[in-house]
Amino acid sequence: MAANARPYRSTLYIPGSKERALDKARTLSVDAIIFDLEDAVAIEEKDNARALLVSELGKGGYGGRAQIVRLNGQDTSWGASDLNAVMDIAPQAVLLPKVETVAQVATVAATLDINPDCAATQIWAMMETPAGILNAAALANAPRMAGFVMGTNDLAKDLNCRFRADRLPLQTALQTCLLAARAAGIICIDGVYNAFKDDDGLRAECEQGRDLGMDGKTLIHPAQVAIANAAFAPTEAEIDLAVRQIAAFEDARQAGQGVAVVDGAIVENLHIETAEATLAKARAIAALEAETT
């Protein structure tokens, strides 16, 4: 699956300390899972959670879902142990909390470099502090960097901003990270929506994130999955338009013309790139859903 086509519509946090939740995740229609050893795990459970998660990931069964392990910070007493433990199973990706400098990423990348089994292991960054946001462009190009996850709760706390339905106080941070991610060709996933029983609010925030250009939404509860999957997938209308644009442009090209017209609008090569990306995303979603249902 092409990196830019792989879906991350629904990216669900699962506590590494909850065996039942880790098992249930194998059956959920999520695109990606963040196996959390940080915020979702109590201090007294850190060591047990690490051992349990390594055991469960070693068993497999998560199919085509992207698997990302959120470590404790490397400046904590658990961070190094987390990294050393998960290296034994060569995870698809590790997610680093509160990333602010390239040096933080490079240190983890150098540790991964020591283990040849981890040659393909990606690094993802939680973007959740003012310093991290201001360094987004550099972090997007850090060693092994493959994705940003917006930590909007922590960021809002540090900014001392109010929570608003339109998320106006966070727009600069969201768009700064998105710009950096797109410039570097990496993934950018929107932050969580805390009111997991508020379907209308979640749907509105997902639509806003999709309008901005985010690749998907991080989620805190399985009940949020269906709404995120729908919001970040190409619609039937978008797929239909993409098919017709490609066909019309090919007809125009065969006729020696550089542009076509579809539904009264000009279609140029840049529109075809978007149309092809839309169809590639739709195919990737269909393939993943076939594997996880």
pLDDT tens, residue by residue, 106-123: 999 999 999 999 999 999
178: Cβ contacts below 8 Å, ≥ 6 apart? 188, 212, 213, 214
Phi, psi values for residue 11, rounded to 5°: -125, 100
* pLDDT for the residue 4: 64
For residue 267, the one-letter residue type is V
Q: Report the CATH number at residue 98.
A: 3.20.20.60
SS3 of 187, please?
A: strand
The residues, ordered by sequence, that sit 6+ positions from 284 with a Cβ below 8 Å of its Cβ are: 1, 2, 5, 6, 7
The CA R_g of the chain, rounded to the nearest whole Å, is 20
Contact predicate 110/123, CB 8 Å = no
Global pTM value: 0.95
Largest CA distance in the chain: 70
What pLDDT does residue 291 have? 80
Q: Is residue 188 part of a domain?
A: yes
With a pLDDT cut of 70, the percent of the chain lying above it is: 98
Query: What tens digit of pLDDT does each residue of 23-70 get?
Result: 999 999 999 999 999 999 999 999 999 999 999 999 999 999 999 999
Residues 66 and 211 in one domain: yes
Q: Is residue 3 part of a domain?
A: no
In a shared domain, residues 224 and 246: no
Residue 219 counted as domain residue: yes
Instruction: Give the torsion sign (CA, 41, 47, 51, 52).
Output: negative
Q: How far apart are CA 190 and CA 11, in angstroms?
A: 9
Q: Kindly report the backbone phi and psi dihedral angles of residue 218, in degrees, each rounded to the nearest multiple of 5, phi listed first.
A: -80, 140
Q: Read off the DSSP letter of residue 95.
A: E
- On whether both 199 and 277 belong to a single domain, the answer is no
The pLDDT score that the predictor gives to residue 104 is: 98
Give the model's pLDDT for residue 292.
72
Residues in the chain: 293
Task: Write out the residue range of the structural domain in which residue 66 sits.
Answer: 10-231
Question: Once rounded to an integer, what is the mean pLDDT over residues 243-250?
Answer: 96
Q: Are residues 41 and 58 in the same domain?
A: yes
Q: Alpha helices of 93-134 — where are they, by DSSP H?
A: 102-114, 130-134
Does residue 2 sit within a domain?
no
Could you tell me if 249 and 115 lie in one domain?
Answer: no
209 lies in the same domain as 187: yes
| Res 1 pLDDT > 60 | no
Report, as an integer, the average pLDDT of 279-293.
89
Res. 5 pLDDT band, cuts 50 70 90: confident
CA–CA dist 125, 108 (Å, integer): 11
Which ranges in the chain belong to alpha helices (H)? 19-24, 46-59, 79-87, 102-114, 130-134, 136-140, 152-159, 171-184, 199-212, 225-231, 236-254, 269-292
* Beta strand 260-262 pairing with 265-267: antiparallel
* Phi, psi of 239, deg, nearest 5: -65, -45
Q: Output b/e per residue, 118-152; b: 16+ Cβ within 10 A.
A: beebbbbbbbbbeebbebbeebbebebbbbbbbbb
Q: What is the mean pLDDT of residues 123-134?
A: 98
**Where is the domain boundary, 231, 257, 282?**
231
Query: Mean pLDDT, to the nearest integer, of 270-287?
Result: 95
pLDDT of 157 over the 50 cut:
yes
Q: Tell me which DSSP letter residue 152 carries.
A: H
Rounded distance between C-alpha atoms, residue 13 and residue 292, angstroms: 17
**DSSP secondary structure letter of residue 5:** T
| 63 shares its domain with 187 | yes
Give me the chain's average pLDDT, please: 96
User: What is d(CA 187, CA 213) in angstroms, rounded to the nearest whole number?
Assistant: 10
pLDDT tops 80 at residue 2: no
Task: Tell me the mean pLDDT in the region 169-182.
Answer: 98
Over range 79-97, report the average pLDDT: 97
